[in-house]
Amino acid sequence: MSQTVSDGDLVEVETRIGNNTFHPGTRIPERPTDDSLRPKDREQHTVPPNSLLWKYMGDPFVLGAVGQRAAIIENMWPQLGQGVSDHSVLVSRGDFKSLRERAANTLKTIGGVVYATPEQATKFGIQVRNFHKSIKGEMPNGRRYHALDAETFYWAHVTFFELIYRASELGVIDLSRDEKEQIFEESKHWWSMYGVDDRAQPETYADYEKYIAHVKEHDLIDMGIAQYTAGSAKTADYFVRAMPKKYQRVAKVASPAVAAMLRITTMGHFEPELLERLRLTEYWTKKDQRRYRRLIKALRIGRIVSTRLHLPVEARYMPFAAKAFRREGINPDDITLESARQALAEARASYVSDAAAAVEVIEVVDAAPDDAACAKCERNLEDCSDCAGTGVVDGEPCDVCHGARRGCPVHHADWRTPAVVG
C-alpha cells in the first residue's frame, strides 16, 4: 500500500499535462498497470441484501451530509484526477447533458454493483471495470497511469463506502466499532465484483484505518483538476455555465444562493487538513459552518423521524435502493449488525461450497461487422487490445470484447445497446 519514495516521484516545477496542472513539491508514484484479473483468477462475491452497505449506501440522509465528497477526494488522487481530466466528457464539454450523464453513470455504478440481482451485478461489475480500460496516459516526470492500476482503482472504490464512515464522524448516524468492521468486510465483496487485483485492499478494518490515514496524509494532493471540483464552490460560475442556455439568466440571479449551497456540499464534509491542502480554508466562513451544523442536525433528525413514521422505502431511500428492497422484500429497518453478520457468513459459506462448481461462463458473441459503430457513443469499433483482435486470451474467450474481436474503445462489449440517460 505504501509507495517507495524515489527522486523520480517529485514534481520540481509547475507541470501541465493536458487540462491538469501539478504543483512543485507533490509526489507522483508510478501506477501504470491494468491490473484486471482474468476470469479464472477472479471470484465475484455479491454484497448480500441484508447488509449494512444496503442499509446505508442508498440513504439520502447519509449522502446529503457528504455532498460531493466522493468526487472531490477521487479527484485528489493524482492518477484518478489525471484520468478525469483526460477522459471526462464533463471536463471537455462542461454542459448540462454531460453532467446528467455522469450523475446517471455514477448512480448506475452504485445501484448496479451493490443492489442488482447477483446475475446482473456480476456482469455489471465487469462492465464498470471495462469502461475504465481506455483510461490511461501520461503523468509528470515521464510517469504513466492506468485507471485500473490496483492502487488507483481501489481508491476509487473506497471513495464510495468511505462516505458512510464520514457521515458517522459528522454525526448523521452513529456507527459502532463492530458496525464499521462489518461494513469494511462487506466492502471486500463489493470490490471483488470488479475483477481487479486486490493487493491494495487492507486485510482488516484496523488496517483500513491505517490505510485511510496514510492516503489522507500522503497521497491526496492539490492539483488543477482538484480545484475544478472543489474550487467550484468559490463562485457559482460553474453552475451557470452548466445550465442550458435558456436558463442561464435565471441561473445568474440564483447564483449567490447556489454558491452558498455549493460551499456547503463541497466543503462541509472536509477534514480541516484537506480543506487546507486545497487552499479553501478562507472560503469556508463561520456562517457556512453554522449552516452546515444545522444541515447535519436536520438530516439526523429527519432520518430518525422518517424511520419512526415507517414511511415507505420509496419516500426515504434513493430510487435504486428502494427498488432493490422491494424486490427482495426487505425492510431496511430490520437490518441490524447481527442480521448483516449472519447474511455475510451465509454468503461466504455458500461460496466455499460452490467454489468447485463456479466456472464463469462468458457469453461469446459473433465477430463484429467491419462497419459497426457503438450505439452508445457512435464511435467506430476498434480491434480489442486485450486479445489483440483475436477474441481469445489464454485459450479462453476474451472477457472484454466477448469474442467479438472488435469493440467500442470506451464501451467495449457493451456497444450494441443505446445509452439510457435520464
Residues forming the site for Zn ion (CB under 5 A)? 374, 376-377, 379, 384, 386-387, 398, 400-401, 408, 410-411
Burial code of 141-178, b = ≥16 C-beta within 10 A, e = fewer? bebebbbbbbbbbbbbbbbbbbbbbbbbebebbebeee
CB of 409 to Zn ion, least distance (A): 7
CB of 126 to Zn ion, least distance (A): 13
CB of 417 to Zn ion, least distance (A): 10
Q: Which amino acid is at 292?
A: Y
CB of 365 to Zn ion, least distance (A): 11
Tell me the DSSP string of 86-125.
HH-HHHHH--HHHHHHHHHHHHHHHHHHHHS-HHHHHHHH
Q: Where do we find the cell 456497444?
A: 415
Which residue, 332 or 409, is less far from Zn ion as judged by CB? 409
Which residue, 251 or 377, is less far from Zn ion as judged by CB? 377
CB of 415 to Zn ion, least distance (A): 5
What is the rounded end-to-end Cα distance, in angstroms, of the chain?
38
How far apart are alpha carbons 190 and 202 in whole angstroms? Answer: 14
Please, is 282 exposed, middle or buried when counting C-beta atoms within 10 Å of its C-beta (0-12, 13-18, 19+)? Answer: exposed
Which residue, 352 or 420, is less far from Zn ion as judged by CB? 420
Name the DSSP class of 223: B
Which residue, 66 or 410, is less far from Zn ion as judged by CB? 410
Which residue, 349 or 392, is less far from Zn ion as judged by CB? 392
Residue in 375, 79, 360, 43 with CA at minimum distance from that of residue 225: 79
Which residue, 57 or 374, is less far from Zn ion as judged by CB? 374
CB of 169 to Zn ion, least distance (A): 39
How far apart are alpha carbons 119 and 353 in whole angstroms? Answer: 18
207: how many CB neighbours lie within 10 A of its CB? 13
- Which helix H or strand E contains 164, and what residues bound it? helix 150-170
Chain-centroid distance of CA 123 in Å reads 17
Which residue, 118 or 389, is less far from Zn ion as judged by CB? 389
CB of 379 to Zn ion, least distance (A): 5
Residue in 191, 199, 204 with CA at minimum distance from that of residue 149: 199
CB of 419 to Zn ion, least distance (A): 8
Which residue, 221 or 368, is less far from Zn ion as judged by CB? 368
* Helices 205-214 and 177-192, packing angle to 10 deg: 80
Grid coordinates representing 22 are: 501539478
Which residue, 298 or 375, is less far from Zn ion as judged by CB? 375
CB of 408 to Zn ion, least distance (A): 3
Which residue, 116 or 374, is less far from Zn ion as judged by CB? 374
- Helix locations, 234-361, DSSP H: 237-242, 248-267, 272-277, 286-308, 313-316, 319-328, 337-354
Let me know: does 27 contact 10? Beta carbons within 8 Å: yes
CB of 391 to Zn ion, least distance (A): 6
